[in-house]
Structure 1
Amino acid sequence: MQALTILHSCLNPQLNLELCSSRSSVKWVAKRGFQSSTKTEFNGKLYCLCSKGTINILFKPRKCSLRAAFALTWALAEPEVGIGVEIAHAQLDNNQEDSSDAGKSGIGSAEKARNGNSERVDVRALAYKLHSAKTADDVEEVLKGKQKLPLQVFSTIIRGLGKEKRVDSVMALYKWLKRKSKESDSPIRLNLFIYNNVLGTLKQAGNFAVVDEILNDMETEGVCPNIVTYNTLMGIHIEQGQELKALQIFEEMPSKGITPSPASYSTVLFAYRRLEDGFKALSFFVEIRNKYQEGEIGKDGDSEDWDHEFTKLQDFITRVCYQVMRRWLVGSENLSTDVLRLLKEMDKAGLQPSVAENERLIWACTREEHYLVAKELYARVRETESEISLSVCNHVIWIMGKAKKWWAALEVYEDLLDKGPKPNNMSYELIVSHFNILLNAARKKGIWRWGMRLLNKMEEKGLKPGSREWNSVLVACSKASETEAAIEIFRRMVENGEKPTIISYGALLSALEKGKLYDEALSVWKHMVKVGVEPNLYAYTIMASVYSGQGKFDIVDSIIREMVTVNVEPTVVTFNAIISSCAKNSMGSEAYEWFERMKVENVTPNEVTYEMLIEALVNDGKPRIGYEVYLRGYNEGLELSVKAYDAVLRSSEMYGATIDVGAMGPRPVEKKNKVEVQARRNMTEFCKLADVPRRGKIFERSEIYMSPSEE
Structure 2
Amino acid sequence: MSLQSSCCAAGGYYLRNRGDLHPSLPPHFPFSCYPSSLFPSPRSSPSLPHCKLVLVQSIPPNRAAGAFPSALRFLESNPLDGGSDEESLDALLAELTPKEMTVLLKRQRDWRRALRLLRRIRCLRDYRPNPIHYNVVLRTLGRARRWDELRHCWLDMAKDGILPTNNTYATLIDAYGKAGLLKESLLWLKHMRARGISADEVCMNTVVRILKDSGHFDEGEKFFRGWCDGTVDYDVLEIEFEGSESISPNSFLLTELFKSGSRAPVPLKIASSAPDGSRRPRLAATYNTLIDLHGKAGKLQNASDAFAEMLRSGVSPDTITFNTMINICGSNGLISEAEALFDKMRRRRIVPDTKTFNIFMSMYASLGNIEAVLKYYHKMSESGLTPDTVSHRIILQALCERNMVREVEDVINKIIESGEFVDEQSFPVVVKMYINQGMLSETSMFLEKHCGSSSISSKNYAAIMDVYAEKGLWEEAEGVFYRKRGVGNKKEVVEYNVLIKAYGRGKQYDKAVSLFESMRNIGIWPDECTFNSLIQMLSGGDFPERATEFLRRMKDAGFRPRCETVSAIIASYSRKAMVDEALEIYQEMKPLGVEPNEVVYGLLVNMFAEAGKVEQALHFFSLMEESGFPPNHIILTSLMKAYKKASCWREAQEVYAKMKTLEHGPDTIASNCMIDLYAELGMVSEAKLIFDDLRKNGEVNGVSYTTMIYLYKSLGMLEEAIDMAQEVQKAGLLTDCASYNSVLAAYAVTGKLKDCAYLIHEMIARKMLPDASVFRSIFGIVKKGGLPIEAVLQLQASYNEGKQFAREAIVTTLFSLVGLHDHALESCNLFLSARTRNPLDSYAYNAAIYAYGASENIDKALNLYMRMQDAGLEPDTVTYVYLTICYGKARMVEGLRRIYGLLKYGEIEPSESLFKALMDAYENSGKHDLAELVEQEMKFRIHSPIGDESETEDDWDAYESETEDDLDAYESDNIDQDDDFSMNPSIL
For this structure pair, what is the TM-score category when the shorter chain's length is used for normalisation?
0.3 to 0.5
Q: TM-score, normalised by structure 1?
A: 0.37
Bigger RCO of structures 1 and 2 (CA < 8 A, at least 6 apart): 1
Higher strand share: 1
Q: Give 1 or 2: higher helix fraction.
A: 2
TM-score, scaled to structure 2 = 0.28
